[in-house]
């Protein structure tokens, strides 16, 4: 009887081991150390690539330069379109999952925000985004989406003079930024930590407290701050910075502090506004953190505090805040460059942005309007 029972248990274990789904099988495949980056509307997400003939050919192609494709939503589960070139295929019948990057028919790329069963070649998986975050990033349901594939993040030219920088762990700050950018024209970058899938809620938010303690113990040492991923847009190219951060233990979230600390020189002299999200705690310490980290910015005005009780009313709060800080006036001020400045030969457009290769039009040079 014991032998029979033992045999049944062994059979059950073997059946369980053999019942992994397609996604788990895919994750068991070898992956490359080389990352690919997908950029949409100035926001970049890294992709872990599987190691196969298709990805090897794709990496070789991207080593010659970034590739931009136009994709369209389809079926309620993907955006897809032609790559403009073909890659080797190793098709298999799989159920693609949200975040999967798929090669279809050898020359089409599919970025999944839902599930679909088909014969595909796996390329990789977008790192660290939930299903709802993928829908936002991939602009689910929209058409003519410009998507750039590259091997390294790189700055993207822009016509905007405002950059919105944010960190979001729970998603509240992301919602604030989405509401803010529906009211103003701005570029956006998200702060992401190098360490992925961290559970900051565990053990009474102990991990977050440990990160803050490390910063407070030696705030002038870069090694005290948790490392963050590179962002695509350089703050140096903008006049106005709106910084959106959550509150951890009455302080600015540690990854948000990292961004300010490593960019303090680039932010010097910029017009700086801040929106802070918290459950109920006041934001005075977060403001003090910002004053320590970026002491040379020009504050637009008082920071906006959005808490749990008024988060649903954020659209009105943001609208009123923009009026209070006179954002419309701030965002249209032209930076006049005096002739005795170090880079007196630089040319700026009428939005106050430096222009490297100006075409025909009106510009600011040496503090004066010029017509080219």
User: In this structure, is residue 324 part of a structural domain?
Assistant: yes
Task: Provide the residue range defining the domain that includes 119.
Answer: 22-150
**Based on the domain organization, do 326 and 177 belong to the same domain?**
yes
- Which pLDDT tens digit goes with each residue over 314-327? 999 999 999 999 99
- At residue 341, the pLDDT reads 38
**Based on the domain organization, do 216 and 170 belong to the same domain?**
yes
Sheet holding 347-348, edge to edge: 354-355, 347-348, 362-365, 368-371
Spell out where 41-115 has E strands: 43-50, 67-74, 78-82, 92-96, 100-104, 108-112
Q: To 5 degrees, how large is the angle CA 93–CA 99–CA 103?
A: 45
- At residue 357, the pLDDT reads 67
- Which pLDDT tens digit goes with each residue over 193-214? 988 888 887 887 899 999 999 9
Domain termination residue (choose one: 150, 171, 199):
150
Residue 315's domain is classified under what CATH number?
3.40.50.360
| Highest mean pLDDT: which range of 78-87, 121-130, 179-188, 222-231 | 78-87
User: In this structure, is residue 10 part of a structural domain?
Assistant: no
**Based on the domain organization, do 29 and 77 belong to the same domain?**
yes
Q: Are strands 271-278 and 240-248 parallel, antiparallel or unpaired?
A: parallel
Our count of domains for the chain comes to 3
**371: confidence class by pLDDT, cuts 50, 70, 90:** low
User: In this structure, is residue 2 part of a structural domain?
Assistant: no
**Based on the domain organization, do 124 and 182 belong to the same domain?**
no
Check: CB of residue 280 under 8 Å from CB of residue 305: no
Q: What average pLDDT does range 75-100 have in this prediction? A: 96
**Based on the domain organization, do 182 and 277 belong to the same domain?**
yes
Q: What SS3 class is residue 244?
A: strand
**Based on the domain organization, do 272 and 214 belong to the same domain?**
yes
């Amino acid at each position: 009887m014991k032998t029979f029972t033992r045999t049944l248990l062994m059979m059950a274990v073997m059946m369980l081991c053999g019942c992994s789904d397609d996604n788990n099988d895919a994750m068991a495949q070898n992956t490359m150390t080389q990352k690919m980056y997908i950029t949409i509307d100035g926001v970049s997400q890294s992709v872990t690539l599987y190691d196969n003939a298709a990805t090897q050919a794709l990496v070789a192609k991207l080593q010659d330069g970034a590739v931009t494709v136009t994709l369209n939503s389809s079926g309620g589960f993907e955006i897809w379109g032609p790559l403009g070139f073909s890659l080797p295929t190793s098709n298999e019948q799989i159920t693609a999952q949200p975040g999967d990057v798929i090669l279809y028919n050898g020359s089409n790329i599919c970025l999944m925000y839902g599930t679909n069963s088909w014969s595909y070649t796996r390329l990789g998986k977008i790192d660290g985004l939930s299903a709802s975050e993928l829908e936002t990033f991939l602009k689910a349901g929209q058409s003519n989406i410009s998507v750039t594939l590259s091997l390294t993040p790189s700055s993207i030219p822009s016509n905007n003079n405002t950059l919105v920088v944010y960190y979001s762990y729970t998603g509240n700050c992301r919602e604030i930024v989405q509401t803010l950018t529906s009211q103003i024209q701005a570029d956006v970058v998200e702060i992401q930590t190098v360490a992925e899938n961290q559970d900051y809620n565990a053990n009474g938010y102990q991990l977050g407290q440990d990160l803050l303690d490390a910063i407070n113990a030696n705030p002038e040492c870069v090694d005290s701050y948790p490392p963050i991923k590179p962002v695509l847009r350089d703050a140096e190219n903008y006049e106005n910075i709106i910084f959106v951060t959550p509150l951890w233990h009455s302080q600015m979230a540690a990854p948000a502090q990292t961004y300010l600390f490593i960019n303090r020189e680039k932010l010097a002299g910029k017009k700086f506004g801040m929106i802070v999200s918290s459950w109920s705690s006041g934001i005075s310490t977060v403001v003090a953190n910002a004053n320590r980290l970026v002491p040379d910015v020009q504050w637009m005005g008082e920071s906006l505090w959005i808490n749990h009780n008024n988060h649903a009313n954020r659209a009105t709060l943001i609208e009123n805040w923009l009026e209070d800080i006179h954002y419309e006036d701030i965002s249209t001020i032209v930076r006049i460059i005096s002739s005795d400045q170090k880079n007196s030969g630089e040319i700026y457009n009428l939005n106050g942005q430096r222009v490297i290769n100006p075409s025909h039009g009106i510009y600011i040079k040496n503090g004066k309007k010029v017509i080219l």
